[in-house]
Amino acid sequence: MPTHRLRLPLALGLLVFCVFSLTSSTHPYGYEGPTISYVERTLFGTGAGLKEDSVAGLVDRLAYVPFVIGKHTLAPGRGESLRRIAYVLVQPSIATLVCLALYGLARQVRYRRSTAARLVLVAAGATMLWPYSKFGMENHQTLWTVAGTWLFLRYAMHPSAGRAALAAAALGTLALTKLSGVLHAAVLFAAGAALVLRLGAGRWPSLRRDLAIGLAVGAAALAILLVSNRLIYGGWLLGGRYEIGIEYSPRLWWNSALGLLVGPGKSLFVFNPPLLLGAALLPRFLRRSPELRPFAWALLALTLFYVCGLYWFFEESWGPRRMHFLVPFLVLPLGLWLDEWKTLGGRKRILAGGLLALGVGTQVLAVCFSYAAHPWTLRRHPSYSMEGITWNPRLNALVFNAHLLRSLLSRATGGPSLPFVIEDHYIPWNSPHPVPRPRRFDVSREDHLDFWWEQERVEWSKIGGDFWFDQDAAWVAILLFAGALTGGVSTARAVRRPGS
């Protein structure tokens, strides 16, 4: 790729990485905490006090290795703030790669560079890719699902031995992210193979060569998967990694499907408003880019698998976490309207702008507060169940985080922390006697900004620091702010350049 063509994705990557990093947290979420502890114990015999096993795959564990080494090579007594913030850049780095893989896929389906860049900005700022850049858990699987689709499509359109190896490596890495990554890799391989067979008339000698390369790379990935599972989990495939009987217990598939579409607490479109337009434009997009149709069927099959078979499809996580991998693909159709923006009607512009603004506001509410604030505060409520989380608007994470923002503003203006109140309303002829009082939940420990630099400021003030920040942490924050500004200006210039 010529150097001038790299300027836009590099500037875009810098902007996205710095914004994601500035809104990251020192608190690891989900199984990221046990993963960090495992890597620290394995490399240095220490840990963060977390002794339970992690269900994270090998790729997730390896991503922490350079940061763990960097943290433990700092001289004792120096760089304490850097030790505390050692891992805040890990998940933002992976989430940034997701956005760059989306850029590559958008270019592969013949969008202009400027349109591809705008799609990345929509995905990074108005969908749950942003909050999950700090939450983790899904970033690796989404990255290699998008990258595998892009590289397989790139190979199918312009076959070569090198591209075959890259596509196979991407799918092999995908299998090493999660246990479900094996299924993702298999389904995407079937979709890519169908496309290659449809386009491959007259190229059978090279196809046999490329198939041999792919099988060799796939066999190596399978061997790594089996051996790493045996070493880490105690079994060649599962070991103690998952309680598979619980994970895949039968359930009402239509309940999950309706929840995914319209459930106020788990709808893909409530937590990612721009995807509503993306889904509406999807049929037209697939007519424009028919080479993506096999992959669209593959993604639909994966979605049905999660909806129909996964007991934990709806849990306490932010939004429909299991559908994180779908987000970049449903952003792609938005490029149709972005390409036509200058000639697009006023009503369509208002609709697109409104959904974008809702998306940004939704993600800001998500990143400002702790991922764990909602489940840890409301877990004592009797209605806090999978069905309650999905269908009860008062248990909606967005409603709860909006209240945290209101409470934060109250404290910032000298007022008290405001309790979160849930009041049950009964049918008059069937109400209990006496009617239960409204339940009030204290949020004084949760209505604080969940950004690493704010956490570091509080930590520094506790130990009597002379300045607002420790100097090392301050330099990290300054560099990230400067990087975001530089990346934003460079991206704007590159997008406006003639021919982009």
Backbone dihedral angles phi then psi of residue 420, each to the nearest 5 degrees: -90, 125
The per-residue pLDDT for 459 is: 64
Residue 290 has pLDDT above 60, yes or no: yes
* Whether residue 361 sits in one domain with residue 381: no
The per-residue pLDDT for 257 is: 83
Domain boundary (347, 365, 383) is at 365
Residue 202 has pLDDT above 80, yes or no: no
* CB burial readout 374-390, b (16+ within 10 A) else e: bbebbeebeebebebbb
Backbone dihedral angles phi then psi of residue 323, each to the nearest 5 degrees: -95, 10
Residue 344 has pLDDT above 50, yes or no: yes
* Whether residue 381 sits in one domain with residue 332: no
* Whether residue 240 sits in one domain with residue 146: yes
* Whether residue 480 sits in one domain with residue 407: no
3-state secondary structure of 240: coil
Residue 50 has pLDDT above 50, yes or no: no
Residue 68 has pLDDT above 50, yes or no: yes
Lowest mean pLDDT among 209-223, 290-304, 360-374: 209-223
Mean pLDDT comparison of 304-313, 437-446, 471-480, highest-scoring range: 437-446
> Which domain covers residue 433, as residue numbers?
372-449
What does the pLDDT look like over 322-333, one tens digit per residue? 899 999 999 999
Q: Which residues contact 329 (CB under 8 A, 6 or more apart)?
A: 146, 149, 295, 296, 299
User: Is residue 86 in some structural domain?
Assistant: yes
Opening angle at CA 182, ends 213 and 209, nearest 5: 10
* Whether residue 124 sits in one domain with residue 179: yes
Residue 353 has pLDDT above 90, yes or no: yes
What does the pLDDT look like over 127-143, one tens digit per residue? 999 999 999 889 999 99
User: Is residue 20 in some structural domain?
Assistant: yes
Higher pLDDT, 239 or 433: 433
3-state secondary structure of 69: helix
The per-residue pLDDT for 243 is: 53
Confidence label for 201 from pLDDT (cuts 50, 70 and 90): low
Residue 51 has pLDDT above 50, yes or no: no
**Average pLDDT, integer, range 270-277:** 96
Beta-bridge mates of residue 440: 421
Reference 368, options 269, 265, 459, 452; nearest CA is 452
Lowest mean pLDDT among 65-74, 92-101, 356-365: 65-74
* Whether residue 173 sits in one domain with residue 154: yes
* Whether residue 348 sits in one domain with residue 227: yes
Provide the percentage of residues in the chain whose pLDDT is more than 90: 45
Lowest mean pLDDT among 284-288, 343-347, 459-463: 459-463
Confidence label for 301 from pLDDT (cuts 50, 70 and 90): very high
Burial category of 360 from C-beta neighbours within 10 Å (exposed 0-12, middle 13-18, buried 19 and up): middle
The per-residue pLDDT for 424 is: 78
* Whether residue 444 sits in one domain with residue 384: yes
Reference 451, options 471, 489, 480; nearest CA is 480
Please report, for the chain, how many H helices and E strands are present, in that order: 24, 2
Reference 277, options 347, 334, 354, 336; nearest CA is 334
pTM: 0.92
- As for how many domains the chain has, the answer is 3
* Whether residue 74 sits in one domain with residue 117: no
Residue 1 has pLDDT above 60, yes or no: no
User: Is residue 200 in some structural domain?
Assistant: yes
Confidence label for 275 from pLDDT (cuts 50, 70 and 90): very high
Q: Determine the residue type at 296.
A: A
**Average pLDDT, integer, range 189-217:** 81
The per-residue pLDDT for 235 is: 74
Domain boundary (365, 388, 405) is at 365
Residue 466 has pLDDT above 70, yes or no: no
Average pLDDT across the chain, whole number:
86
Instruction: Say if CB 282 and CB 224 are below 8 A apart.
Output: no
What does the pLDDT look like over 5-45, one tens digit per residue? 788 999 999 999 999 999 999 888 888 888 888 888 888 87
Beta-bridge mates of residue 60: none
Higher pLDDT, 6 or 270: 270
User: Is residue 101 in some structural domain?
Assistant: no
* Whether residue 233 sits in one domain with residue 131: yes
Q: Which residues contact 254 (CB under 8 A, 6 or more apart)?
A: none
Q: Determine the residue type at 273.
A: P
Higher pLDDT, 397 or 463: 397
User: Is residue 57 in some structural domain?
Assistant: yes
* Whether residue 189 sits in one domain with residue 125: yes
Higher pLDDT, 22 or 468: 22
The per-residue pLDDT for 49 is: 42
Higher pLDDT, 312 or 166: 166
The per-residue pLDDT for 126 is: 96
Opening angle at CA 91, ends 374 and 238, nearest 5: 85
Confidence label for 361 from pLDDT (cuts 50, 70 and 90): very high
Residue 245 has pLDDT above 60, yes or no: no
Domain boundary (311, 332, 365) is at 365
User: Is residue 54 in some structural domain?
Assistant: yes
Residue 360 has pLDDT above 80, yes or no: yes
Chain-centre distance of CA 91, in angstroms? 9
Residue 47 has pLDDT above 50, yes or no: yes
The per-residue pLDDT for 226 is: 87
User: Is residue 359 in some structural domain?
Assistant: yes
What does the pLDDT look like over 70-125, one tens digit per residue? 888 875 665 667 777 888 999 999 999 999 999 999 999 999 999 999 999 999 99
Residue 481 has pLDDT above 50, yes or no: yes
User: Is residue 36 in some structural domain?
Assistant: yes
Instruction: Say if CB 171 and CB 152 are below 8 A apart.
Output: yes
* Whether residue 35 sits in one domain with residue 13: yes
Residue 59 has pLDDT above 80, yes or no: yes
